[in-house]
A and B are shown apart, each in its own frame.
Chain A
């Protein structure tokens, strides 16, 4: 069986319907063959007509008589394969070579290269009494399953392995059989890379699954192209509200916010690179009848900018917080001939534990080129399960010119892969490529660094009548340098649901720094204590760039209930930390409560514009 869990339900259905058509064809073929066997007596002629010539040759190589379609069908339906012993007993009745649909699937050794690589995993595909396996397939298993201690040569330094660089990871297939003169050991490595490629696919979680939840699946017709067209349409439609949509604005908003929040959860979806969320801006629903309309504020305004998907998923703030530790080893290289920038990720050492209850991390490494002028998105390694010292030996590639590359910053981050998509940040390294010596293709060790933080404080003073919320924005650390390594940050603040200009305040712009200090206090009055439950202070950090401002990140301080005065909203989405701070403030009147909080990407309302 092959691990096909990465397929969405829709895709599985489509594939199963294709297999069904194939099964029908096989059925009528089987009938035809049976008739032929009765009518035609010339043995060799029979072999032509029935296709036996093909299956005979095939069986010399693929010991079983199982069709690929049967393997896939079994993999999707989750039927367990049987041992050879059982199979041989079943096969005592002569089965049809045409149609093996009704037989349990035995995975031949040749295909075990397509299974997951870890020995623990392989137990799921073969029965526990794996001793029943014939010696050859046991040997094959050992040959095919890698040992983690195997050290890989640096592909950038070895010319003889230069073909290997073309074989690994993202876009490439392995070069298994081209050069028969290579040593058997080399062949082993090829198997490894084949497995690695397959494994990466298996652990990915497709983006489109979340889309299905929201939008009803297209009608299942026999015409495949319609189905696929529908799917592509749904993916694209979610990102931008179609003007001709028959849904009302609030419904649309709910749909989009739901899809975006599930986007943030499904961050591990490998396909999310190709589906771009072009705009996170959508219509803002104005609240009426709120007692917050009498806030005393003053501010100026700056324009909104949309957040591209590549930046959006860097630090989404939905992850649980972990103290960063450890190192990462990687090498970088530019291959002129292919116009390709390559990052050879070797390993990480001494990573933090992301899940304390289970005392484990399942780390993977993610790379970005920032500010991603070429809109290439992220590249990721496979996930290594349950280890704080993962070894990858994988190459991540970007197709980019040297010219562009020299204007970029390489952002390499390590994450813990959580089953529910709440991946934990484990550390990062940034390399300024404008200052990088590209002849340095050595595997270097880097200490993993912390990520963006915003330091701020909040206070509230209330009397029995209305009180004030005071926000003292102290400083920021490690802001993402989205614009050519230079940013001029400032902080904007507003209290939701109040969206009028009166509500907005901002600090001054601090030039050319990723660690600006503001020490700016903002005050909002007119709050009744109960109002605090339904209000949310939205603090956002921006990069002031001449005529436009670039969004760097933000937070929302509120209770995070998802509701404002009984209506479901999207901006009451405070994280646990943000809500914690707000609650503390609510409980301790007339006192400052302080915290350092990570900035995250926010869904911005259209109301916040010039």
Chain B
């Protein structure tokens, strides 16, 4: 799959408490599948996907799609692996912070995950998308949409209620994160004289049009 035949390599990292659905979320995103069996991630893993990104930004030129190779790091939520997974925070350009809508503690821990990110990521205000996962389990919901949105607003990050099981808002969440990165990248390069942190990313710009290409359709790469 990694044949170098793409325009950008973008690295994301999924983090959150154990059992919130990070692995399932990424698997749903890359393969469109869901496996309900819980197999805890051993330390760290990653998945890859090739997508096409179109934007009206300076690099977009005449709206030609950019081929993006996305590397999605999947971290173990278990405390046991914490020192290991934290070492990978620095390598990611964007983060998918997940909690479980049916587990209040995982939502309460979002605050702690945020501070971990602020400490260990490549910069103090990395691009993050907050996802309340397992939205399909309505009867077991323990976190209200309101309070989750409030928290996301407080941090100035987008919020999605996703379901790795039925796919709801999974690709949208990742697409929004991708869009944030691409926009930031342009800002970084064009306005590099502006100190870091004063230009905050604040949500979906609505300009981009992201479509996916399944690697099998490309024909060239052998995953």
Contact = CB atoms under 8 A, between A and B. Distances in A.
Interface in A63-121: 67-69, 71-72, 110-111, 114
B34 interface: no
A111 B186 contact: no
Given A25-B48, A29-B2, A173-B113, A44 B189 contact: yes
Given A53-B185, A175-B115, A201-B79, A18 B44 contact: yes
A401 to B, nearest CB: 15
A478 interface: no
A576 to B, nearest CB: 34
Interface in A337-373: none
B98 to A, nearest CB: 15
Interface stretch (A2-10, A522-530, A579-587, A593-601): A2-10
Interface string A259-290: 00000000000110000000000000000000
Contacts, number: 155
A135 interface: no
A213 interface: no
A58 B108 CA distance: 29
B80 interface: yes
B42 A15 contact: yes
Contacts of B2: 24-25, 28-29
Contact of A173 (B8, B90, B115): B115
A68 B91 contact: yes
A174 interface: yes
A22 B87 CA distance: 15
Contacts of A22: 46, 71
Interface in B57-100: 59, 71, 79-84, 86-91, 93
Q: Contact residue range for chain A?
A: 35 or more
Contacts of A18: 43-46
B196 interface: yes
A229 B35 CA distance: 12
B116 A176 contact: yes
Contacts of A4: 83-84
A44 B190 contact: yes
A521 to B, nearest CB: 51
A225 interface: yes
A184 interface: no
Interface in B179-205: 185-186, 188-190, 192, 196
Contact of B90 (A68, A198, A202, A206): A68
A11 B115 contact: no
Contacts of A11: 42-43
Contacts of A7: 43, 84
B114 A48 contact: no
B39, B46, B88, most chain A CB atoms within 10 A: B39
B172 to A, nearest CB: 24
B122 A224 contact: no
B87 A62 contact: no
Contacts of B144: none
A19 to B, nearest CB: 8
A42 to B, nearest CB: 10
Interface in A539-572: none
B37 interface: yes
Interface size class of B (residues with CB under 8 A): 35 or more
Given A51-B8, A228-B40, A177 B119 contact: yes
A63 B112 CA distance: 25
A231 B71 CA distance: 26
B71 to A, nearest CB: 6
Contacts of B88: 68-69, 72
Nearest to B105: A171
Nearest to B9: A29
Contact of A14 (B42, B80, B105): B42
With a 10 A CB-CB cut-off, give which of A56, A177, A204 has the most chain B CB atoms: A177
A197 interface: yes
A167 interface: yes
Nearest to A43: B189
B189 A201 contact: no
B59 A48 contact: yes
Given A57-B188, A60-B196, A225-B39, A68 B112 contact: no
Contacts of B112: 166-167, 172-175
B87 A228 contact: no
A204 B80 contact: yes
Nearest to B3: A28
Interface in A273-325: none
Contacts of A71: 87
A67 B92 CA distance: 10
B111 interface: yes
Contacts of B83: 2-4, 114, 198, 201-202
A227 to B, nearest CB: 8
B123 interface: yes
Contacts of B153: none
B89 A68 contact: yes
B19 to A, nearest CB: 11
A111 B80 CA distance: 18
B7 interface: yes
Nearest to A67: B91
Contact of A54 (B71, B120, B122): B122
Nearest to B126: A57
B39 A232 contact: yes
B27 to A, nearest CB: 8
Contacts of A206: 80
A6 B80 contact: yes
B82 A201 contact: yes
Given A18-B46, A25-B71, A29-B2, A170 B79 contact: yes
A15 B4 contact: no
A175 B112 CA distance: 5
B169 to A, nearest CB: 23
B57 to A, nearest CB: 10
Nearest to A71: B87
Nearest to B92: A68
A327 B155 CA distance: 46
A606 interface: no
A61 B126 CA distance: 12
B119 to A, nearest CB: 5
12 contacts: A4-B84, A21-B46, A32-B9, A53-B185, A173-B109, A173-B113, A175-B112, A178-B111, A178-B118, A201-B81, A201-B82, A225-B39
The 8 lowest CB-CB distance pairs between A and B, nearest first, are A173-B112, A58-B122, A32-B4, A68-B88, A68-B87, A228-B39, A177-B118, A28-B2
Interface of A: 2-4, 6-7, 11, 14-15, 18, 21-22, 24-25, 28-29, 31-32, 35, 44-45, 47-49, 51, 53-54, 56-58, 60-62, 67-69, 71-72, 110-111, 114, 166-167, 170-178, 197-198, 201-202, 204, 206, 224-225, 227-229, 231-232, 270-271
Given A14-B43, A45-B59, A166-B108, 9 more contacts: A18-B46, A22-B46, A48-B59, A48-B185, A72-B87, A172-B109, A173-B109, A178-B114, A197-B82
